[in-house]
Structure 1
């Protein structure tokens, strides 16, 4: 999901929201439970939108729940997961954390389950792929907070100049389009392929799904990183896109998503895989943007990749009832839609998704909304995933470099995954 840096400013005080720092918690009023909530900052410009969102939520909640107060601590995405881990280890864990991963805490029995916290109507309203990704051993601990998926983005102006009549519907057409862009335009990146360490695990999974695989794991949950489908996907990328120099001047293993997205907004990219935030940035930059389902090897892929960030309730302070009361309020359509719309993300609930799809203001998100209910997420429920994801980020680019061997690279990552899984 989005990872943005936050700058603390004097404007914080004007929001009227208590930002409690570690070790500075105020004493509770008699008969009042104060919940500690640590949340990530999503503001792309380092502004106040995340603080304002939580301030509004807390103000409304406290006005109708006199026995519960909520102190919110906003942290940048670059450090929020580490901060929460440090707090939990020090015995000063939050009651609620809105962060990027839940698996280790669930495995250590530190979290309340969704059954412990949510009413049946709220719990049953989450989109199915997000529920599946939030489960560990058949029990849901990770509550989806924000979601997104990916589409193929293309520059209509470059397509017209290159004589490409329609967006590609399979990999063969994608390669042809990239070649036409290279031969007939001055675009730097006919197809931008960011396999650098920033988010290579996401780009990798999209191509695996397009090759007909289940992604990183089989239906039983075992890693299948070096499967035939996954290997052939990277053999195709190397032989049909990278070796013919259709992926631009920067080697895919050195190209990060941030740089690829920036190049797209400058008009230097013909095609890439993008998400809703890039859509707004590109349109603001005057790019004539087209977007379609990312093509698979033979047509529509088996599934689209989805991603999610999570919110969870910790057992450490014993505030099960109060946490549940707050979270049941948090997941109303009004609150879910407000956060998604503010941050160019997708709602995590069925009813909020339906409401967004019917709102003309969000027509440009229709294709994303259509894909999310059928998406496949990375195996975030596995405690080994953090290690495996890092291995992919650091090494998958080697599969397509000159002289690289996709099969050997995937087998090496698969071996590391087997070792990590053995420690779960």
Structure 2
């Protein structure tokens, strides 16, 4: 499944490492009735699997058709790309001097720092901008100005297999609330023959998310309250010491956490091979479809349920170069209207980013399993995506953090090295 495998790689390429690509072609466009030069150009990511008939192009086609019935003078061309390609290709378009008018991708800060983006207040009407959930609006800011408009979001909860819990003699209605309870449950699951008692994905796909979940549950984070990196803080080193000593070295996780991606463990979970892991809303669809008896709980913390949880968002941004501020604003207002925004979140079991669409989702009984995720979103902590250096720091985490639970230099050495590189990149990326 190509649904970004799933949402959560928010620190993708930014504006680096790209090669030039051409402007939109007829084969690459979604809909639009005007000429190429006249059309508002939009690049968006695919959250579905076109091979299974649930690709995102159908949503955008329907949205554009409805928009053009109200705004017949504004043609819109939408190009939907795989998450493997979309960040890189948008960066390439920008580098080649041909940015789209609107992009829906994983990161915005590089473009904002270069002065390429309209601020949210320049393109959105006041009611639409005010409708964003405050934590998400704040996560879209660079130096207190919002440039990133959240598109959809997710949070994380602990998923556990009730059937495997019962087999191990554990109460299937009493998930672990603390690290020690999690370690004891994992040991019982291992003794009962469960292949992977706790799924720990520290491979490139999920490393920044799984890491932040553990840091938050231990009272730490990636940054302090004023935005300085704190990757090697004492609380974070203590967290990874515990993770290495109490789970990894006791063989209560997958064999190679640093080489294991999230999708591997999600697939193993729905096959009944994983006792516990941290998951997000899109995992619900698969466990329901496969008939897995599962439960969810707040992520365990050092002394009790974690006070903080991870929030992840994807972003919409409007580029200045083509001067299409008014047209882009009208389309974005339409995109974020309650009906249209809810339709996308509903289609892919993701969390809406506006207050109005969130309340609408709460009112639908079929989305009851999502309510706990919605509750967590209100107080979630997001990646420091407003820092221009974050894309490179995230890439470093993906490459290096797995070593912290291995047999090498240990958590203090690994986290310290990542911290030093993060500080250097932060200095290089100072916003003028």
Taking structure 1 as the reference length, the TM-score comes to: 0.92
How many angstroms apart in 2 are the aligned matches of 1:81 and 1:141?
A: 17
Q: Which moved more, 1:147-156 or 1:297-306?
A: 297-306
Task: Name stretches of at least 5 consecutive residues in structure 2 with no aligned partner.
Answer: 7-23
Distance 1:220 1:268 in 2: 42
Secondary structure of the corresponding residue to residue 111 of structure 1 = coil
> How many corresponding residue pairs?
408
1:190 aligns with 2:197: yes
CA contact (8 A) 2:120 2:147 kept: yes
CA distance 1:24–1:234, shift in 2 (3 Å): closer
Preserved CA contact (<8 Å) 1:4 1:41 = no
The CA deviation string for residues 153-175 of structure 1, in whole angstroms up to 9 with x for no partner, is 00000111112121011111111
Whether 2:212 is the aligned partner of 1:211: answer no
The Cα of 1:321 is off from its aligned counterpart by 0.6
What do the CA deviations read for 1:44-81 (whole angstroms, capped 9, x no partner)? 46445301100111000001112111001111111111
Residue deviations 1:358-394, cap 9 Å, x none?
A: 2101011111111011100011111111110011111
Deviations 1:205-230 (A, max 9, x none): 000000012x2111101100001111
1:330-349, aligned counterparts within 5 Å? 330-349=335-354
1:68 and 1:21 map into 2 onto residues whose CA distance is: 20
Residues in 2 aligned to 1:97 and 1:113: alpha-carbon distance in whole angstroms: 14
Backbone CA RMSD of aligned residues: 2.2
- 1:324 counterpart = 2:332: no
Residue 52 to residue 22, structure 1, CA distance change in 2 (3 Å): closer
In 2, Cα distance between equivalents of 1:25 and 1:272: 40
Residue 402 (structure 1) shift? 2.8
The Cα shift of 1:19 comes to 6.8
Q: Distance in 1 between matches of 2:362 and 2:25?
A: 35
Q: How does 1:160-175 map to 2 (within 5 A)?
A: 160-165=166-171, 166-175=174-183
1:312-391 equivalences in 2 (<5 Å):
312-391=317-396
Structure 1 residues 154, 338: CA separation in 2 closer, same or farther (over 3 Å shift)? same
Alignment counterpart, residue 155 of structure 1, candidates 155, 161, 169: 161
User: Deviation at 1:326?
Assistant: 0.6
With over 3 angstroms needed to count, the CA separation of the structure-2 counterparts of 1:142 and 1:26, relative to structure 1, is: closer
The equivalences for 1:216-235 within 5 A come to 216-235=222-241
1:12 paired residue number: none
Give the match for residue 186 of structure 2.
Answer: 178
In 1, distance between residues paired with 2:30 and 2:411? 52
Structure-2 change in CA distance of 1:83 and 1:291 (3 Å): same
- Pairs within 5 Å for 1:3-402: 3=4, 20=26, 33-44=38-49, 46=51, 47-165=53-171, 166-183=174-191, 185-213=192-220, 215-248=221-254, 250-402=255-407
Q: Cα offset for 1:24?
A: 13
**Are the structure 2 counterparts of residues 422 and 286 from structure 1 closer, same or farther at C-alpha, using a change threshold of 3 Å?**
same
How far apart are the structure 2 equivalents of 1:175 and 1:354? 37
Q: Give the CA deviation at 1:282.
A: 1.7
Displacement of 1:20 in angstroms is 4.2
Partner Cα separation in structure 2 for residue 20 and residue 198 of structure 1:
32
Distance 1:296 1:134 in 2: 28
Where structure 1 has 5 or more consecutive residues not aligned to the other structure, the ranges are 6-17
CA distance in 1, matches of 2:272, 2:409: 30
Cα deviation, residue 300, structure 1: 2.2
